[in-house]
Amino acid sequence: MGLIVISNREPYAPKKGEDGTLTWTASIGGLTAALDPALQHAGGTWIAWGEEHPDVTEVDLPQGDPRYRLRRIRLSESEVREFYYGFANRALWPMSHYFIERAKYLASNWRAYVEVNRRFARAAVESYRAGDLIWVHDYQLALVPRLIREVLPEARIGFFWHIPWPSTEVFRTLPWDQEILDGILGADLIGMHTPEYVSHFQSACRRVLHAETAGDTVSWRGQVSRVVDRPIGIEVDAYEQLAASLEVEEAADRIRRTLQTQILLGVDRLDYTKGIPERLEAFDAFLDQHPEARGRVTLLQIAVPSREQVESYRQLRARVEGLVGRINGKHTESGWSPIQYIYRGVPREELVAHYRAADVMLVTPLRDGLNLVAKEFTACSRDGVLVLSRFAGAADELPEAVQVNPYHPSGLAEALTRALAMPLDEKKARLTRLRSRLRQSDLRAWADGFVAELAGA
Ligand code: ADQ
């Protein structure tokens, strides 16, 4: 029994060396970390969009010690525009995060989405051997379970939706609401991050499709699917060990010595769902209210460039850079600037050194499926405080974080004050409890557990 994983992003990306050969390096991100070991163990196929060097359609991975095959789907330029930047990231992404005023529902984008989903499903059907388990990932590929089911009625198909599932009143704004639900319900086992997303999904099944739901099941077109909350975890041991290593401790010391202040940290993809401008404005308000904090606190914001082809992401970048400039211009004194802004992806060691150096981690999305940064910080920090938005899926699992409403600037500023002044024993006690919760949902356990449930489906 092999495993077929289907996701938009590929687990390894190719780079051409000077001698013309391709080197495949593991992509950064939770999905590769979780599923690469599972697939190496089970053997099988990973199907994903081959973004760079699309002429290579198949490769055995990992290079040098191959355990499974990567099948790469080729997308034309217009498909990347209409399927990926279009329907996935300008319709499904904003709608699912409650930003319906940003959603663009274009029929041409929908047609490209259907066509690309068909191509992924065809590749899965071609790779399938009787008894294989198929695990489809995320909002880019919601039609794939049904498209596979139509050809392989006996196959065991799992699906994981990594972003929020919104309230039905929001979901119903999507002109293709029935098609998306029907697509996902081709799966036997459907996973989401929180019980609330599961309940919204079931409500949409009832309201939009008039499907029947009972317990954790949905009955539709003669098939019963289970819908379960299975929040993704992180590699807890790997983060803990890295954070305690000599190199990282030294790097964290360097960060603290350079800044010579208490450190507030933000780490996000530059996305309008992450609440970065709201966070900066709350910090501005905090500095207005606490003149004594001047020269004593720095906000370090690390933002990874993201979806720069989409206009609203370019606008967000300009807005964030404008705010950083305005706030620094207003408060800077000789030898101290309140905000340090890094606009790039950083290597994992550097990221962990920042987690280790931070006094307060600000994870304040306006809406987030789960948020891995909150968990990574929790695994790495020695005595820091996690400030966490109540609209991040991870808030359910991390009740000892200082929970905030990111829409309320003065509430956020107040939480900063509380976090910065928290006594050491309280900080340690909260972290200890949070850490033990992390251990209950390690990344490998998440992937292995889902595959095992699917095998029993
Ligand atoms: P994302 O929206 O990408 O994921 P998140 O869960 O926070 O959000 O994961 C971001 C990842 O990127 C983290 O592992 C983090 O370490 C890394 N990262 C962030 N900034 C970085 C930087 N400057 N340099 C290097 N690495 C950086 C989607 C959903 C989430 C859900 C995940 C997993 O939107 O809600 O938690 O999938 O299901």
Q: pLDDT tens-digit profile of 184-223?
A: 999 999 999 999 999 999 999 999 999 999 999 999 999 9
Q: DSSP labels for 318-344?
A: HHHHHHHHHHHHHH-BTTB-SEEEEES
24-33 pLDDT per residue, tens: 998 877 788 8
Which atom of ligand 1 is closest in space to residue 304's alpha carbon?
23
Residue 350, pLDDT score: 97
355-365 pLDDT per residue, tens: 999 999 999 99
The phi-psi region of residue 210 (left if phi > 0; otherwise alpha if psi is between -120 and 50; otherwise beta) is left
Residue 1, pLDDT score: 79
% of the chain exceeding 70 in pLDDT: 100
Residue 440, pLDDT score: 86
Residue 337, pLDDT score: 97
307-319 pLDDT per residue, tens: 998 899 999 999 9
Residue 375, pLDDT score: 97
**Which residue ranges form the domains of the chain, and what is each CATH number?**
3-232+444-455 (3.40.50.2000), 236-439 (3.40.50.2000)
Q: Out of 97, 137, 162, 200, pick the active-site residue.
A: 162
Residue 457, pLDDT score: 81
Measured CA to CA, the distance from residue 283 to residue 446 in angstroms comes to: 36
CA 29 to centroid of ligand 1, rounded, Å: 7
pLDDT > 80? residue 136 = yes
* Per-chain mean pLDDT for the chain: 96
Residue 31, pLDDT score: 83
DSSP 402: E
87-118 pLDDT per residue, tens: 999 999 999 999 999 999 999 999 999 999 99
Average pLDDT of the residues in 393-403? 97
Residue position matching structure tokens 């997303």:
197
Instruction: Say whether 65 is catalytic.
Output: no
Nearest residue (CA) to ligand 1, atom 11: 29
267-311 pLDDT per residue, tens: 999 999 999 999 999 999 999 999 999 999 999 999 999 999 889
Which atom of ligand 1 is closest in space to residue 303's alpha carbon?
23
DSSP-derived pairing of the beta strands 189-192 and 223-229: parallel
CA 282 to centroid of ligand 1, rounded, Å: 22
Nearest residue (CA) to ligand 1, atom 15: 373
Reported pTM:
0.97
Nearest residue (CA) to ligand 1, atom 16: 373
Which atom of ligand 1 is closest in space to residue 342's alpha carbon?
23
* 3-class DSSP assignment, residue 37: helix
215-263 pLDDT per residue, tens: 999 999 999 999 999 999 999 999 999 999 999 999 999 999 999 999 9
CA 230 to centroid of ligand 1, rounded, Å: 17
Substitution site in 7, 95, 317, 371 for ligand 1 pocket (most atoms within 8 Å of beta carbon): 371
Measured CA to CA, the distance from residue 120 to residue 141 in angstroms comes to: 8
Substitution site in 302, 340, 372 for ligand 1 pocket (most atoms within 8 Å of beta carbon): 372
Residue 277, pLDDT score: 97
pLDDT > 90? residue 145 = yes
Substitution site in 32, 161, 269, 306 for ligand 1 pocket (most atoms within 8 Å of beta carbon): 269
Nearest residue (CA) to ligand 1, atom 17: 29
- Residue 318 — φ and ψ, nearest 5°? -65, -40
CA 300 to centroid of ligand 1, rounded, Å: 17
Average pLDDT of the residues in 7-34? 89
Which atom of ligand 1 is closest in space to residue 376's alpha carbon?
16
% of the chain exceeding 90 in pLDDT: 94
pLDDT band for position 34 (50/70/90)?
confident
Residue position matching structure tokens 């699992």:
397
- On the CB side of 297, CA atoms within 13 Å amount to 22
CA 341 to centroid of ligand 1, rounded, Å: 18
Instruction: Say whether 408 is catalytic.
Output: no
The phi-psi region of residue 351 (left if phi > 0; otherwise alpha if psi is between -120 and 50; otherwise beta) is alpha
pLDDT band for position 340 (50/70/90)?
very high
Nearest residue (CA) to ligand 1, atom 24: 345
Average pLDDT of the residues in 167-178? 98
36-91 pLDDT per residue, tens: 988 998 899 999 999 999 999 999 999 999 999 999 999 999 999 999 999 999 99
Residue 104 token pair: 């663009």
Ligand 1: residues whose CB is within 6 Å?
Answer: 28-30, 162-163, 232, 267-269, 302, 304, 345-346, 351, 368-373, 376
Nearest residue (CA) to ligand 1, atom 12: 29
Tell which residue, 408, 402, 341, has the closest CA to residue 374. Answer: 402
Residues in a beta bridge with 3: 44, 133
